[in-house]
Copies of this chain bind each other. A is one copy, B any other.
Amino acid sequence: MNVRTLCLGILAFDEASGYEIKKAVEDGMFSHFIEASYGSIYPALTQMLADGLVSVREQAQEGKPLKKAYSITEAGRKALKNSLHELPQQDKFKSEFLFQALFREQVDPQHLEAVFNGQMEYLYDELSTIEECRQSLEPGSGHAFVNGYGHAVVSAAIQYMEESRSSLGLLARKPISSDAAE
């Protein structure tokens, strides 16, 4: 999938600026598909505007820079549908974290711990994000499946990692912040 298709997909739900698209891909409702940087999003929008797949509404904001709100056009919806039908049929689980885990005996123990904890942090974060998303959702939408799938997979990853912690020679995770004595 390319950034154009990603942007069209986001715009199919609601109009958005390049900046907003980036945020949605980074953190928000559209963070589960592919990554995209400003350097790819802005050119994609410019190009799609030239191709008539999106239209733009410029909003002057007092005290803020010009904001360009892009909307998808009918041609854009057709292009999106088309792209959707041409996406590869399978998508594979790949993980660079696992690559690092594979060589755990070759890296410094403290680095291994940092990597492990970094991944854990991401997974717990992801889980909260999904929970949040779930609440602002009409039931039955495509987002429900996405979030359910994400929840199932991330939970399983967390569980397996917590179980493996000791066998990897790692300590239990340190308390996140100063928590009162118990």
Contacts and interface: CB of A to CB of B under 8 A. Distances in A.
A34 interface: yes
A7 to B, nearest CB: 12
Interface in A63-101: 77, 80-81, 84-85, 87-101
A119 interface: yes
How many copies make up the complex?
A: 2
Interface residues of A, number: 63
Nearest to A31: B92
A142 B102 CA distance: 4
Contacts of A84: 100, 103, 106-107, 111
A126 interface: yes
Contacts of A119: 89-91
Across the A-B interface, give the 6 residue pairs with the lowest CB-CB distance, nearest first.
A156-B156, A89-B118, A152-B160, A102-B142, A90-B122, A33-B99
